[in-house]
Amino acid sequence: MKCIIDRRAQFSASHRYYLPELSEAENIERFGACTRFPGHGHNYVLYVSMLGDLDEYGMVLNLSDVKHVIRQEVTSQLDFSYLNDAWPEFQQTLPTTENIARSIWKRLESHLPIVNIRLYEHPELWADYLGNNMEAYLTISTHFSAAHRLARPDLSFEKNCEIYGKCARPNGHGHNYHLEVTIKGEIDPRTGMIADLVAFQKAVDDYVVEPFDHTFLNKDIPYFEKVVPTAENIAVHIRDLLEDPIQQIGARLYKVKLIESPNNSCEVFGASVSDVMPLLMREPAFAGA
């Protein structure tokens, strides 16, 4: 029987985004504060996902052996390092989150049956790499607070209450929505990025967070004057709002995940996505979050 197991590891390291072929001004324009000398640091959290058959002892792999491999090949070399100098490839391609994930895959693939590398730079930014040449996934998470009422205007109050329960009450109710947006693209062989992270964050802020935050969705967002703002419909609308802006920064929108509450969330995929991968829907808890 096939089974996927995850092994968690962590390391602390610093890095700097700076290309010597660019001027100081050009580096600052492209990378912002990340160009500052001598760099900045993160507490990285790594999840290594492995696929295999259960053996007679009920294991895919001996986790002690897995721990040793990850420590020997990755964390012992990266922990308390300056990433730009830690591995030779980071002198050719900057050590971005997505490029580090790819490099970790390259060092582990001959030792472990890996199917995904997920690397958290911090709890609101992470990358996934699945072994497909230069292709990677980058996710940012953010939040907004908003109120809504679940009710169709063509139905009676009694009928809406029958369908939506307490959520149909006239004055509505609110949530602290948690939003995760995942993009997909090719890692640039020089910058190490699949897209400009600042532009990615700005697109999410400009098209979603700022317009949606501290609103009554039914009244303040025109789309929801005729569409019931369920978590599913909100996620679909966010997907539609972000498709073009994400494309303009050179990536593809892969997935929008909206968490309405700890008990209620939904995911929708980009309009052009045909490779819906269950692995990317598995969310290992971020230790310390």
In a domain, 285, yes or no: no
Q: Domain end: 101, 131, 161, which one? A: 131
In a domain, 289, yes or no: no
What is the rounded CA–CA span in Å between residue 15 and residue 90?
10
What is the rounded CA–CA span in Å between residue 153 and residue 82?
59
Would you state the structure tokens that stand for residue 160, as one six-digit string?
Answer: 């809406």
Residue 196: HSE in the Cβ half-sphere, 13 Å Cα cutoff: 16
Q: Say if residue 141 is in the same domain as residue 127.
A: no
Q: What is the pLDDT of residue 265?
A: 96
Q: Say if residue 142 is in the same domain as residue 192.
A: yes
Q: Say if residue 68 is in the same domain as residue 150.
A: no
Q: Say if residue 111 is in the same domain as residue 191.
A: no
The overall pTM is greater than 0.75: yes
Q: Say if residue 127 is in the same domain as residue 146.
A: no
Q: Say if residue 141 is in the same domain as residue 126.
A: no
In a domain, 245, yes or no: yes
Q: Say if residue 120 is in the same domain as residue 146.
A: no
Q: How many distinct helices (H) and strands (E) make up the chain? A: 11, 10
Q: What is the pLDDT of residue 278?
A: 47
Q: Say if residue 126 is in the same domain as residue 59.
A: yes
Q: Say if residue 211 is in the same domain as residue 267.
A: yes
Please choose, from the candidates 179, 181, 182, the residue with its C-alpha nearest in 3D space to the C-alpha of residue 212: 179
Contact yes or no for 120/286 (Cβ under 8 A): yes
What is the rounded CA–CA span in Å between residue 8 and residue 59?
17
For residue 251, the one-letter residue type is A
Q: Residue 247 maps to which CATH number?
A: 3.30.479.10
Would you state the structure tokens that stand for residue 112, as one six-digit string?
Answer: 């472990």
DSSP output for 142-201: EEEEEEE----TTS-HHHHHHHHGGGG-TT-EEEEEEEEEEEEEEPPTTT--SS-HHHHH
With a cut of 70, list the residues of the chain below it in pLDDT: 276-289
In a domain, 78, yes or no: yes
Q: What is the pLDDT of residue 277?
A: 58
Q: Is residue 38 reached through a cis peptide bond, with omega within 30 degrees of 0 on the bond before it?
A: yes
In a domain, 283, yes or no: no
Q: What is the pLDDT of residue 283?
A: 54
DSSP state of 46: E
Q: Domain end: 87, 112, 131, which one? A: 131
Q: What is the pLDDT of residue 271?
A: 83
In a domain, 288, yes or no: no
Q: Say if residue 123 is in the same domain as residue 180.
A: no
CB under 8 Å to 53, separation ≥6 — which residues?
1, 2, 3, 60
Look-up of token digits 């790819």: 102
Q: Say if residue 80 is in the same domain as residue 148.
A: no
Q: Say if residue 96 is in the same domain as residue 143.
A: no
Q: State the total domains in the chain.
A: 2
State the Rg of the chain over Cα: 22
In a domain, 243, yes or no: yes
Residues designated catalytic: 167, 214, 260
Q: Domain end: 131, 154, 182, which one? A: 131
Residue 62 is part of which domain span? 1-131
In a domain, 286, yes or no: no
